[in-house]
Structure 1
Amino acid sequence: MFDTHLVVVGNVLVAPEWRRVTTSGNLVANFRIASNARRFDRENNTWVDGNSLRIRVSAWRRLAEGVASSITVGDPVIVYGRLFTRDWKDEQGNPRVSYEMEAYSIGHDLARGRSRFFRQKSLPGSAAIEDAEADMLVAGLPSIPLTVQESPIGYGEGMPAADPPSFAEPPAFPELPSELSPVAEAPSPVALVPDPEPSSLAEAPQEPSPVAAVPDPEPEEEAAPEEAASPADDFSLEVERLTAAQPTTPTRRGRRSAKREPIAA
């Protein structure tokens, strides 16, 4: 009724293996991944391994084709799919339990490496389907492994013939095309301006113009000496010293009137 969908991040333990379901003849690719947790031990000041989870992953149809040609042992992958457990019995009749995942999407973990995507083309023949069994069973159905000649595709096949990506860091300042690169211009020579020649119209030194003779002024009659000022004409200043009047303090009259003397009859 309810399915458990989750994402598992781990490393590939076993390379993808092609298998064929005996009842239907469909192909399947399955592999195992391990997801290990790491924690920091403060006492020893080191990283230690924590809990681990190992799951068998089944890839169906075109996803199986991409997995078989792109994934190998040790690759860090991210798998999204439906998780379930399957109960089965081994050859001795012992009950066993396996954790399996029906993958919907699988990809490389780009946080720990680099990859390059090539769009795949559909292959002729039977479509690849999912795997879901730890040993010989796929989705509870018996299956047999395929040989290399019987496998529809192998690791690295189906990729275009191109040089592997180098992932070199681009230059900080890429070179510009020749038509866009600036051309260094030679500095233009500075023309020397000759000193200006003395103008022919320069003013010639002027001769002093004759000054008309001015008759000497007649001697003025000497003015009579002014009489000395008499002492009576001097002004005398007298300063009068003013004294401030003392303020009079009004006498307070009591409510009682002054005692009157008796009037003689």
Structure 2
Amino acid sequence: MFDTYVTLVGNILTAPEWRRTTNTNTLVASFRVASTARRFDRDSNRWVDGNSLRVRVTCWRRLAEGVASSVMTGDPVVVVGRLYTRDWADVDGNNRTSYEVEAVAVGHDLSRGKARFARTRAAGATSEIEDDEGLRA
């Protein structure tokens, strides 16, 4: 009900890793994105880095399939999704928190390059009947 949606603009830090869930065989892809603020420093006449944010991005199903075959480390991307925190304990028992985004859309940042889109079509229903009877005739 109160999901927090964010839009991240940054670069992919890690190559997308994908797997299938054990129960439902659903495709999942994940990678890390870094978003670093930049500003022009007039005193030094150059661009300088500001604060940065690094988050893990998780993609499901068809989005995971598209991400796994379309993006790689270093690519500039725009990610839209639900932001949440994950609490966990490290090997020493220390409590940790990480920020994660469950993506609903991922695309290349076209302000920093060019891309060509290739639409994938879902396999539709067919009227063809496949059975052994047709082969016996």
TM-score grouping bracket, smaller chain normalisation: 0.7 to 0.9
Q: Could you tell me which amino acid in structure 2 is paired with residue 95 of structure 1?
A: N
The code of the aligned residue for 2:32 comes to R
Return closer, same or farther for 1:41/1:67 CA change in 2, 3 Å cut-off: same
Which residue identity is paired with 2:16?
P
Higher RCO, Cα 8 Å, sep 6+: 2
Q: Distance in 1 between matches of 2:121 and 2:64?
A: 13
Alignment of 1:161-240 (within 5 A): none
CA distance in 2, matches of 1:95, 1:14: 24
| Percent identical | 65
Separation in structure 2 between the aligned mates of residue 122 and residue 67 of structure 1, nearest angstrom: 16
| SS of alignment partner, residue 15 of structure 1 | coil
SS in 2 for 1:112: coil
1:79 equivalent in structure 2: 79
Asked whether the 8 Å contact 1:62–1:122 carries over to 2, the reply is no
Which string of whole-angstrom CA distances, capped at 9 and with x for unpartnered residues, describes residues 155-207 of structure 1? xxxxxxxxxxxxxxxxxxxxxxxxxxxxxxxxxxxxxxxxxxxxxxxxxxxxx
CA distance in 2, matches of 1:87, 1:76: 28
Residue equivalent to 1:35: 35
Gaps of 5+ in 1: 124-265
1:122 Cα offset (Å)? 4.5
Q: 1:90 to 1:26 in 2, by over 3 A?
A: farther
Question: Aligned letter for 1:28?
Answer: V
Report which of the two structures shows the higher radius of gyration computed on alpha carbons: 1
- Equivalence for 2:99: 99
Q: CA deviation at 1:92?
A: 2.3
Q: CA RMSD in A?
A: 1.7
How many residue pairs were aligned? Answer: 123
Question: Contact 1:82/1:103 (CA < 8 Å) preserved in 2?
Answer: yes
Structure 1 runs, 4 residues or longer, greater than 4 Å off: 22-25
Q: Any unmatched runs of 5+ in structure 2? A: 124-137
Larger strand proportion, structure 1 or 2?
2
SS at match of 1:93: coil
